[in-house]
Amino acid sequence: MQKIHYFDYASTTPVDKRVLKAMMPFFMDEFGNPSNLYSIGHHAQKALALATGKVIKPLGCKPDEFIFTGSATEADNLALIGVAKANRHLGNKIIVSNVEHKGILAAAEALTKEGTDAEKFELQVVEIGKNGLVSPQKIAEMIDDKTVLVSITYVDSETGTIQPIKEIAKVIANYREINNTKLPYFHTDASQAANFLDINVDNLGVDLLTLSSQKIYGPKGVGGLYIRKGTPIKPIIYGGGQQNNIRSGTENMPGIVGFGAAMEIAEKEKVKESARLKKMRDKLESKIIKTIDKVLVNGNIDSRLPNYSNISILDIEGEAMLLYLDNKGIIINTGSACNSQSLEPSYVLVAFGRPYEYIHGSLRFTLGRFTSSQDVNYVIKNLPPIVKKLRKVSPLDLKIGDEKNMSMPKAFVGGQTPHFLRKQIK
Amino acid sequence: MKKSKKKKPDIVNKYTGESWVYTPAVKSHFFKPRNLLLENPKTTKYDAEGIVGSPACGDVMRVWLKIDAKTDRVKEFKWRTFGCASAIAATSMLSVMVSEKKGMKLDDAMKIKPQDITARLGGLPNRKIHCSVLGDKALRAAIQNWFKKTEQYDRIITESKRIIDLNTKTTDVDIEEAVLDGARTLQDVQKKTKVGIGYPECIPEVEELIRFYTEKYFGN
């Protein structure tokens, strides 16, 4: 089999060997259910406490402030739906950004539709600015006495742009102080951020924070939500009352132990790994720009994760590049419509103000723990001929900076608005 | 090789039954496109030219034809495509279909349907059929261009849109698009187009068009 050069760590990471080793006993030998009083149940409970301690250490919170879930999507749903429903009698407004993960956006949209009028919510979307950042000032202007929750992602998953969470937390705290209220609560999704950034909840000033195990070299099927003590929240899963009645269901012991081990390693290697990846990412990006013409970097280059490089290569389409690269053993991702289930181009790149022509040709490289400089050199060598070949196939010759002449909502089959634009026009 | 074309896909979506793999024929045409126009596309040595699509939508196809006026056949079909694997493979396969043997009669070439191309490719995943429907349109555009040039006006077939719903100005092309987007029922189409909601008189016709386009693109 061909050697794989993996550049899609933002999609998912492989489990680290050290993590797998820590998990192994919990499948067969230590199979106990932590809810049981007898000895093996007690063992499981001890292991659960130990793993919880490891996961929450970088958060700087108490063990009872952290709930394990089945995924980061579930944690996002719990944060949004749980807090919204528990506070519906106090207000009906939720604020999210336009670069959130679908786990936030879809849950927020469901809240606007489900139930009676007395149960429904109003969703306010704060758009990122030209620099790709959410403006704390804008949030301050949007909040009123009906706002129960603000949810802004720490990092968007497409460009890796880091949002000013601390500054947003400050304006929210300021609002609460002036108006002598506990509302709105503030949630952030730190799934992509945990490998590289400070996730201490007090430093950040957040009330809720989502984590994912499968983005930090832990197993899939585990995520978690930090919930600051005193934050009213309703469960979205009901049952035997595990985890303080907030998330019922027998704890996923191997998963949680793996999550703990993964967090411990990620925390220990954070600084060194960030520097190593940044160096390689910068080399990759600068070489691509040097050897291929008409390439643009997407996202805020002054405020992004050290392992992200999202670029648009003009005149050619992302899925075609993805498959040619895959053929060479290079695994990347694209925001092109052809690569998505919905056949719509990446809404995050749309939010960043990129014309559709650029988005169709976008490639997302995300580096990680097992990326070597050989991998980077391999891409630098193999990408230019692929681009050259696909440009020969393409009839286009777009010009950078000619955005005004692009994105004419011309017809796909014959003169009308493209299908992905049509739903916005009511 | 022929056997593998008919082999069942190894991965099928358990909810939709849709396969998400490209056939060997698609891969072959994608990685080794046939009849590509390699020189500068501004060339005038071709008899006719057609272009469809828009870069904003992610697909543009441009074709150049050499036509034998005596035999009324396509002598040469050259192309360039901006788009995904399905789009590139479909145009490449179309070029083979039109120019193989003695070259296709213009009347037959005008009748090629996306389905004919996908059949020769051994099928495409359902949601990728959307990406392959431009090839035959580009070909027709080029042939029409030839008819115009050679003043064979009687042979030009106009593909004009027809308004179905007078309120929303929804056309048959809108419904075609909705079907290509995956809509199969009136409800699906209404979600995308709002057709017939304020003008229920047109619903029987809409339903007929849904059946027609579903058959055209997804039927056997």
Which residue from B minimizes the CA distance to A361?
A: B58
Chain B: closest CA distance from residue A341 (Å): 8
Percent of chain A having pLDDT more than 90? 84
Provide the CATH number for the domain around residue B43.
Answer: 3.90.1010.10
Asked if A317 lies within 8 A of B83 by C-beta distance, the reply is yes
Chain A: closest CA distance from residue B38 (Å): 7
Which residues of A does the annotation mark as catalytic?
338
Whether residue B117 is found in the same domain as residue B171:
no
Q: Is the pLDDT of residue A411 over 50?
A: no
pTM metric for this prediction: 0.85
Q: How many whole angstroms separate alpha carbon A139 and alpha carbon A149? A: 11
Which candidate in B57, B119, B157, B166 is catalytic? B57
What beta strand segments (E) does A242-394 contain?
295-298, 308-313, 330-331, 362-366
How many CB atoms neighbour CB B10 within 10 A? Answer: 8
Q: How many whole angstroms separate alpha carbon A373 and alpha carbon A94? A: 44
Largest CA distance in chain B: 54
Residue range A270-422, CATH number: 3.90.1150.10
Tell me whether residue B3 is in a domain: no
Asked if A323 lies within 8 A of B181 by C-beta distance, the reply is no
CB < 8 Å to B31, chain A: 324, 327
Which residue from A minimizes the CA distance to B50?
A: A395
Lowest mean pLDDT among A235-239, B29-33, B139-143: B139-143
Whether residue B14 is found in the same domain as residue B117:
yes
A180: burial class by Cβ within 10 Å (0-12, 13-18, 19+)?
exposed
What is A17-266's CATH topology? Answer: Aspartate Aminotransferase; domain 2 (3.40.640)
Q: Does B62 touch chain A (CB under 8 A)?
A: yes
Whether residue B146 is found in the same domain as residue B206:
no
Whether residue B110 is found in the same domain as residue B188:
no
Whether residue B34 is found in the same domain as residue B130:
yes
**A-B interface: how many C-beta pairs under 8 angstroms?**
110
Choose one of B155, B180, B210: the last residue of a domain.
B155
Predicted confidence (pLDDT) per residue in A223-275, tens digit:
999 999 999 999 999 999 999 999 999 999 999 999 999 999 999 999 999 99
Report DSSP state, residue B82. Answer: E
Task: Please count the helices (runs of H) and the strands (runs of E) in chain A.
Answer: 14, 12
Whether residue B65 is found in the same domain as residue B15:
yes
Structural domain for B106, as ranges? 9-155
Q: How many whole angstroms separate alpha carbon A116 and alpha carbon A207? A: 28
Average pLDDT over residues B193-197: 78
Asked if B55 lies within 8 A of A357 by C-beta distance, the reply is yes
How many domains does chain B divide into? 2
Provide the CATH number for the domain around residue B190.
Answer: 1.10.10.1100
Q: Does B128 touch chain A (CB under 8 A)?
A: yes
Which residue from B minimizes the CA distance to A414?
A: B173
The angle formed by the CA atoms of residues B33, B34 and B36, to the nearest 5 degrees, is 85
Residue carrying the six token digits 């989502």: A210
Choose one of B155, B177, B201: the last residue of a domain.
B155
Measure Cα distances from B108 to A185, B134, B194, B220 in Å.
Answer: 66, 17, 36, 20
Chain A: closest CA distance from residue B85 (Å): 5
Give Cβ neighbours of residue B60 (< 8 Å, ≥ 6 apart): A394, A395, A396, B51, B52, B53, B54, B81, B82, B83, B134
Choose one of B155, B179, B200: the last residue of a domain.
B155
- Please tell me which of the candidates A320, A393, A408 has its beta carbon nearest to residue B36: A393
Tell me whether residue B16 is in a domain: yes
- Please tell me which of the candidates A320, A343, A414 has its beta carbon nearest to residue B181: A343
Q: Is the pLDDT of residue A152 over 70?
A: yes
The angle formed by the CA atoms of residues B164, B169 and B170, to the nearest 5 degrees, is 55
Is B57 in the active site? yes
ipTM of the complex: 0.80
Which residue from A minimizes the CA distance to B174?
A: A416
Predicted confidence (pLDDT) per residue in A198-231, tens digit:
999 999 999 999 999 999 999 999 999 999 999 9
| Ranges of each domain in chain A | 17-266, 270-422
